[in-house]
Amino acid sequence: MLNTTSVARAIMTIDLSEKQFAECIRDRLVRQLIAANEQLEQFATIASHDLREPLRIIACFSDLLEKEYGDCLDGTGRSYLQISRQTAKKMEAMVTDLLEYGRIGENVERLQETDCNEALRHALVGLGEAIKTSKAKIQSDSLPTVFANSLQLSRLFLNLVGNAIKYRQDGRLPVIHISAKDNGALWLFSVQDNGIGVDPDYVRAIFAPFKRLHSDDQYEGTGIGLAICQRIIRVFGGSIWVESVQGKGSTFFFTIPKHTTLTESGQDEERSSD
């Protein structure tokens, strides 16, 4: 006959071993995530420094060319000079965004309780001029406190609300609604707008770095804003996706765990409307 006490002890030992193994795997994944973020940050810092110097030279010599030889240039020459300036300016903005993208993982192990209402307020202050110019109406429900980085959470709201203002429908004042609901182990956030919407074929692609669906003549930008949003949410341990109807608007959803959960897999539950 089996000794029930021995069996119970054996089961407890197995459970304890499995728990220790799971904790060991989790700790290893966290260390790998931190190391990967540090490497990406280092790459972005070096790349941005090396790229900024030639951009400064282009801008400097463009100014000198216009100042000293502007009278000798015809309309075509001045047009070429303007294109050079605009291109250098856009490239510098892309380099700046690349550096920010690489730095998102800084202090990934130091997520702390953060008031989403306060983070949103800071974001709206930064968007003050755009809100005023577009006459956008921003509505927000009461938002929860989550484990996050306050600066990165503000950046997340700034990017999502800023995009909602930028990609507005002609002749329609932008209306943006921010809300959150308890979804069990997660907080489910939504940023809804009445803008131009997203082509269903591109609802996944828009989160790729430097992926743009419109030309600069239509909407200015570097195409990395949503990639930054996705990276922020991954650091928080959540997911981000969009549901959209062209011509009617988009709703960006993102989740944040109620507890400090770090993930390296980066496999978002990207979803689109059926």
* 115 and 95 belong to one structural domain: no
Residue 68 burial by Cβ neighbours in a 10 Å radius (0-12, 13-18, 19+): exposed
pLDDT category at 26 given cuts 50, 70, 90 is low
Q: Could you tell me if 72 and 121 lie in one domain?
A: no
Question: In angstroms, what CA-CA distances link 81 with 51, 76, 86, 93, 158?
Answer: 20, 9, 9, 19, 33
Are residues 135 and 180 both part of a single domain?
yes
Q: End of a domain among 79, 103, 127? A: 103
| Domain boundary, last residue among 103, 121, 142 | 103
Let me know whether 131 and 247 are in one domain. yes
- Per the structure, the count of domains in the chain is 2
Q: Same domain for 253 and 120? A: yes
Query: The domain that contains 90 carries what CATH number?
Result: 1.10.287
Q: Do residues 91 and 117 both lie within one domain?
A: no
Q: Is residue 149 part of a domain?
A: yes
Q: Tell me if 271 is assigned to some domain.
A: no
Lowest mean per-residue pLDDT among 69-73, 107-111, 260-264: 260-264
* Same domain, yes or no: 209 and 78: no
Q: Which domain range does residue 98 map to?
A: 1-103
Residue 270 lies in a domain: no
Q: What CATH code is carried by the domain that includes residue 195?
A: 3.30.565.10
Whole-number Cα distances in Å, 50 to 120, 148, 203 = 34, 32, 33
How far is C-alpha 221 from the chain's CA centre? 14
Lowest mean pLDDT, pick from 14-18, 49-53, 77-81, 234-238:
14-18
Is residue 245 situated within a structural domain?
yes
- 274 in a structural domain: no
Query: Cα-flanking dihedrals φ and ψ of residue 115, to 5°?
Result: -80, 115
The pair phi, psi for residue 184, each rounded to 5°, is: 80, -115
How many angstroms separate the CA atoms of 118 and 107, rounded? Answer: 20
Same domain, 95 and 136: no
247 and 153 both lie in a single domain? yes
Rounded distance between C-alpha atoms, residue 27 and residue 235, angstroms: 15
Q: Do residues 203 and 272 lie in contact, with contact meaning Cβ atoms separated by under 8 Å?
A: yes
Q: In DSSP terms, which residues pair with 148 in a beta bridge?
A: 112
- Whether 95 and 169 share a structural domain: no
| pLDDT tens by residue, 171-181 | 899 999 999 99
Mean pLDDT of 218-225: 64
Kindly state whether residue 262 falls inside one of the protein's structural domains.
Answer: no
Q: pLDDT per residue over 129-143, tens digit each?
A: 999 999 999 999 999
Phi, psi of 157 (to 5 degrees): -65, -40
Mean pLDDT of 207-217: 62
What pTM value is reported for the model? 0.64
Amino acid at 207: F
Within-domain flag for 269: no
Tens of pLDDT, residue by residue over 88-122, are 777 777 677 666 666 665 555 568 899 999 999 99
Q: Output the average pLDDT for the chain.
A: 78
- Domain co-membership, 140 together with 241: yes
Given 80, 103, 126, the domain boundary residue is 103
Structure tokens at 138: 């921003």
Q: Which of 71-80, 98-107, 220-229, 265-274 shows the lowest per-residue confidence on average (mean pLDDT)?
A: 265-274
Domain assignment of residue 171, yes or no: yes
Let me know whether 47 and 115 are in one domain.
Answer: no
